[in-house]
Amino acid sequence: MVDSEVHLQALSRVGRERGVILRAAVELDVSYRRGRGRVHVGARRSPVRDARRVLELIRQAEKLGGVRVVGLKGYEAQIAGVPDRDPFTSLMNPVARAVKWFSRPDVARKREQVAERLRREGIQFEFFNGGGTGSLDSTPRESAVTEVTAGSGFYCSHLFSYFRSLRLHPAAFFALQVVRVSDPGLVTCLGGGYVASGPSSPDKLPIPHSPPGLQLLSLEGAGEVQTPLRLSPGAPRLQPGDPVIFRHAKAGELMERFNEALLIREGRVKDRVPTYRGLGRCFL
């Protein structure tokens, strides 16, 4: 992904040294901006905000050699990554819905303007990527978009249970072991601090799923070392060694923390597959 001459120059240098042409895609900023940038709603991912700038980067790549722009990406984080029926921040749900309502036509217009300008210039691009799990109901409707990204949609991590437009079934979980009972009505699990990206808030923490009747403590949350839980009156009595099943907030945390994933069907482990951590990779 590129959004500046600096990125292109770095890729070009490596491409020419190795005698290859590296493929790149321009990152288009499709955040909702007003007042000459004083109002900015969305992810701060790129300074590229119009067709003119996209065209400049494509032409620059042609001059440099060793790198070629083959596609574009425009991610509408303010739509795809923002829940609008979040039980943790219910007062903000109407605001989130309003932002999405204003942003959808704005994002579609930006992407269509870029695609149309490139077509007029005779520039062929292989793909125009957009969206995320939270915008699967709107992004595919745009004629400029050729592919849509959905990461958390494959797992339905719990943050994506709070979108009005989505009806997903949870498909990924992790287990922590109870290791201590510090007080009556409380248990403490080992580890568990798998916190999602974004502003710090309760909806970015993992949540206990099974057995029912367990809650995080507001003063500790989910910690790197330990995760204490409060048991409701109807919750089963847990002892050291017992497992607690959790749901994570977004798709990435589990793949970064665990070496393998167990694939389960009808209550039986059907396969074990390595994550990129299990393959010895470290991307972030």
Given this model, what pLDDT does residue 51 score?
96
Asked whether 227 and 189 are in contact (CB, 8 A), the reply is: yes
Asked whether 11 and 67 are in contact (CB, 8 A), the reply is: yes
Identity at 214, one-letter amino acid code: L
List per-residue pLDDT tens for the chain, 284 residues long.
999 999 999 999 999 999 999 999 999 999 999 888 888 999 998 999 999 999 999 999 999 999 999 999 999 999 998 999 999 889 999 999 999 999 999 999 999 999 999 999 999 999 999 999 999 999 999 999 999 998 888 899 999 999 998 999 999 999 999 999 989 999 999 999 988 887 778 888 999 999 999 999 988 999 989 999 999 998 999 999 999 999 999 888 888 889 999 999 998 999 999 998 899 887 77
Cα–Cα distance between 225 and 217 in angstroms, integer?
15
Q: Which CATH number fits domain 174-250: 3.40.50.11540, 2.40.480.10, 3.40.50.970, 2.40.37.20?
A: 2.40.37.20
Given this model, what pLDDT does residue 145 score?
97
| Superfamily grouping for domain 5-155 | Alanine racemase (3.20.20.10)
Find the distance separating the first CA and the last CA of the chain, reported in whole Å: 15
Given this model, what pLDDT does residue 27 score?
97
Can you say whether the dihedral through the CA atoms of 202, 203, 208, 214 is positive or negative? positive
Q: Enumerate residues 6+ apart whose C-beta is below 8 A from 167.
A: none
Cα–Cα distance between 204 and 206 in angstroms, integer?
7
**Alpha-carbon radius of gyration of the chain:** 22
Given this model, what pLDDT does residue 203 score?
86
Given this model, what pLDDT does residue 89 score?
86
Asked whether 223 and 217 are in contact (CB, 8 A), the reply is: no
Given this model, what pLDDT does residue 264 score?
94
Cα–Cα distance between 241 and 179 in angstroms, integer?
6
Q: Domain-by-domain residue ranges, the chain?
A: 5-155, 174-250
For residue 196, give the nearest of 243, 241, 162 by alpha carbon: 162
Question: What are the start-end ranges of the H helices in 121-206?
Answer: none
Q: Is 84 helix (H, G, I), strand (E, B) or coil?
A: coil
Cα–Cα distance between 284 and 282 in angstroms, integer?
6
- Pairing state of beta strands 186-190 and 226-231? antiparallel
* β-strand partners of 29: none
Cα–Cα distance between 276 and 43 in angstroms, integer?
25
Given this model, what pLDDT does residue 37 score?
83
Cα–Cα distance between 94 and 280 in angstroms, integer?
43
Given this model, what pLDDT does residue 25 score?
98
For 123-173, list the strands marked E by DSSP: 127-130, 147-148
Given this model, what pLDDT does residue 225 score?
94
